[in-house]
């Protein structure tokens, strides 16, 4: 009897994982998202099929906690909170790692992650959670695995490229984002190889309705500043010194003031890299990593606005 009571008490404890997943459950507009998954069907004969919602929930768990396919399957057997989120009852079979892999490949082929990202942003805009006061642009490098193929003496991921930053060489991809100032919602995201310049995507990361633009000095150009001001958009690009012209004291003061705003454009990278455990790319090739990182941008917005979405219904 004592063992039974202890087990009952243990199951009733609300862990941080349980609390987070409960909030996500309440925040997600399931009908709006599941319509993109209606075409999912299991293709292998002789294997139990799983509903699109079940596989979507499993994909969410995998990416929220940065797990491999095998780790996701194992965690579903070990964690009661994962089973409850997946809506698996005692005695029911759990999708295996192979099924999850096939589901993710199907998402990639149909660009579902991009569709979910755009749909969520439309919902956030409709609920007036996107402020549209300004856009903060920034980029971060996501490294590719460093091991090489022993047989061909080539990098395993030939799509990845190299770049030098702070006297260190990196090989991988670059996540470029346009973030809504004030709400920290990622409105635009572009994935490129690491060698591409941040400023190449300056115009593509603008939403067209912002009243200001904030970026670091890597995006600086006189032409860009003139164009923004002509459009009536406040130019928050940090001034850049040259070999012949050092920054004046007023420019330095301006840069310090703008940096306090621009710094919020890096918060999403902290969540994606540390909370979602994506300091290095998980897959090989630009197409797969684009799908993965757009999915994480979707989950970033869902995570930071989960309470407001739940309240808004």
| Closest residue by Cα to residue 217 from 208, 205, 225 | 225
Strands (E), 181-286: 186-193, 212-215, 234-237
pLDDT at 210: 94
Q: Which residues contact 309 (CB under 8 A, 6 or more apart)?
A: 26, 27, 28, 29, 123, 124, 127, 129, 302
Decide: helix, strand or coil at residue 228.
helix
Largest CA distance in the chain: 82
Confidence of residue 62 (pLDDT cuts 50, 70, 90): very high
Q: State the average pLDDT over residues 283-307.
A: 97
Q: Please give the Cα distance from 186 to 216 (Å, whole number).
A: 17
According to the model, what pLDDT value does residue 45 have? 45
Count H helices, E strands: the chain? 13, 6
pLDDT for 177-235, tens place per residue? 999 999 999 999 999 999 999 899 999 999 999 999 999 988 888 899 899 999 999 99
pLDDT of 130 strictly over 90: yes
- Reference 57, options 294, 75, 43, 47; nearest CA is 75
The pLDDT value given to residue 148: 58
Q: Where are the domains of the chain?
A: 2-110, 131-284
CATH code of the region 131-284: 3.30.420
Model pLDDT, residue 313? 65
């Amino acid at each position: 009897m004592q063992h039974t009571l202890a087990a009952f008490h243990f199951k009733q404890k609300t862990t941080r994982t349980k609390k987070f997943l409960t909030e996500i459950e309440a925040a997600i507009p399931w009908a709006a998202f599941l319509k993109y998954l209606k075409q999912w069907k299991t293709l292998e004969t002789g294997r139990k099929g799983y509903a699109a919602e079940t596989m979507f929930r499993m994909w969410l768990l995998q990416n929220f906690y940065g797990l491999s396919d095998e780790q996701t399957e194992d965690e579903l057997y070990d964690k009661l909170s994962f089973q409850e989120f997946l809506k698996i009852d005692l005695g029911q079979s759990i999708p295996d790692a192979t099924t999850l892999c096939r589901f993710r490949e199907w998402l990639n082929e149909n660009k579902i992650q991009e569709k979910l990202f755009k749909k969520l942003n439309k919902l956030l805009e409709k609920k007036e959670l996107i402020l549209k006061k300004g856009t903060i642009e920034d980029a971060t490098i996501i490294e590719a695995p460093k091991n090489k193929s022993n047989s061909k003496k080539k990098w395993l991921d030939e799509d990845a490229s190299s770049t030098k930053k702070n006297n260190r060489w990196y090989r991988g991809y670059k996540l470029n984002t346009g973030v809504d100032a004030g709400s920290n919602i990622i409105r635009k995201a572009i994935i490129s190889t690491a060698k591409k310049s941040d400023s190449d995507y300056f115009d593509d990361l603008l939403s067209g309705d912002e009243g200001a633009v904030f970026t670091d000095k890597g995006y600086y150009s006189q032409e860009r500043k003139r164009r923004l001001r002509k459009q009536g958009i406040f130019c928050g690009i940090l001034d850049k010194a040259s070999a012949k012209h050092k920054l004046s004291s007023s420019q330095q003061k301006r840069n310090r003031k703008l940096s306090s705003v621009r710094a919020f454009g890096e918060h999403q990278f902290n969540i994606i890299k540390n909370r979602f455990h994506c300091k290095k790319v998980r897959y090989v090739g630009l197409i797969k990593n684009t799908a993965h990182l757009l999915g994480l941008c979707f989950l970033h917005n869902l995570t930071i606005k989960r309470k407001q979405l739940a309240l808004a219904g």
